[in-house]
Homo-oligomer: A and B are copies of this chain.
Amino acid sequence: MTHVPRARASFALSPQERRGVYRAIYGRRDVRAQFLSDPVPDRVLARLLRAAHHAPSVGFMQPWNFIVIRDRAARAAVREAFVRERDRAAQLYEEPRRSQFLELKLEGILEAPLNLCVTCDPERGGPHVLGRSAVRETDIYSTACAVQNLWLAARAEGVGVGWVSIVQPAELRAILGIPEPVLPLAYLCLGYVSEFKDTPDLARAGWRQRLPLGDLVFGDRWGAPDLRVRATLERAER
């Protein structure tokens, strides 16, 4: 008699719902070049923010805030800060990498109808947040999880998101009036898109490729290959 554990599947989502989760995960792109100017309705934006707000957080700290930026002057200022940092970063590369870097489309700050800054307040919840005694940066981990929730909900809604990390936080602070010690963790561009590409921009541009997952998985100890997982991954790829 085969033992079929009841528990296994009983809390799984339906096949269609589960497919939605994987489609959002695999179909999510870092969008830069495909933004349309169509406005994102407030009710859609509200759903994305609510998704972010339901991220896990250390000690239920919820350290995040969301600054919705519609103002064109503010966005133009962020765009200028981006250009300064991009030009500075370009100097780190030798040719031909430098020219390739400068030709990449890396943001859609002005094309996207909405920008969103997600911040992390390290003081929220007082000095002794549960679960934060050993690793103070867990507030940052929580806020990044909130960004990912928003990103996946956006993909489900057909809204593209691009994360602009090529900006000095001090410039964002000045432009958006963010006080110390609050950290502007993510600066995002949001909008409907003409297309979601099948593969990441940097892979298509030949900048860097996806790593083989099996090489990244260890069993019980760093450096020891997990042969079971590796075999399963290889079977799935055949």
- What residues make up the interface of A, taking CB atoms closer than 8 Å to B? 5, 7-14, 16-26, 28, 30, 36, 38, 42-43, 45-47, 49-51, 53-56, 58-62, 64-71, 74, 85, 88-89, 92-93, 101, 104, 106, 119, 125, 128, 130-135, 137-138, 140-142, 144-145, 147-149, 151-153, 155-158, 163, 165-169, 176-179, 182, 185-186, 192-196, 200, 202-203, 207-211, 213, 216-223, 226, 228-229, 231-233, 236
Once A20-B13, A71-B220, A216-B53 are accepted as A-B contacts, the answer to whether A131 and B144 lie under 8 Å apart by CB is no
Flag if A229 contacts B45 (CB, 8 Å): yes
Flag if A46 contacts B229 (CB, 8 Å): yes
- Apart from A17-B19, A125-B208, what 12 extra A-B contacts exist at CB < 8 Å? A11-B158, A20-B21, A21-B156, A49-B233, A50-B236, A58-B165, A66-B216, A67-B219, A71-B220, A134-B165, A145-B145, A145-B151
Counted per complex, copies of this chain come to: 2
Once A7-B194, A60-B208, A134-B167 are accepted as A-B contacts, the answer to whether A68 and B226 lie under 8 Å apart by CB is yes
Once A68-B219, A140-B137, A216-B53 are accepted as A-B contacts, the answer to whether A59 and B208 lie under 8 Å apart by CB is yes
* C-alpha spacing A210/B232, complex, angstroms: 40
Q: Which B residues touch A236, using CB under 8 A?
A: 43, 46, 50
Flag if A221 contacts B67 (CB, 8 Å): yes
Among candidates B13, B17, B92, B196, residue contacting A128 with C-beta atoms closer than 8 Å = B92
Q: Which B residues touch A178, using CB under 8 A?
A: 222
Among candidates B141, B217, B223, residue contacting A66 with C-beta atoms closer than 8 Å = B217
Flag if B16 contacts A23 (CB, 8 Å): no
Flag if B140 contacts A141 (CB, 8 Å): yes
* C-alpha spacing A60/B140, complex, angstroms: 20
Ranked 5 nearest A-B pairs via Cβ: A17-B20, A20-B20, A12-B158, A144-B144, A11-B158
Q: Which B residues touch A211, using CB under 8 A?
A: 53, 62
Flag if A8 contacts B158 (CB, 8 Å): yes
* C-alpha spacing A140/B186, complex, angstroms: 12
Q: Which B residues touch A232, using CB under 8 A?
A: 42-43, 45-46
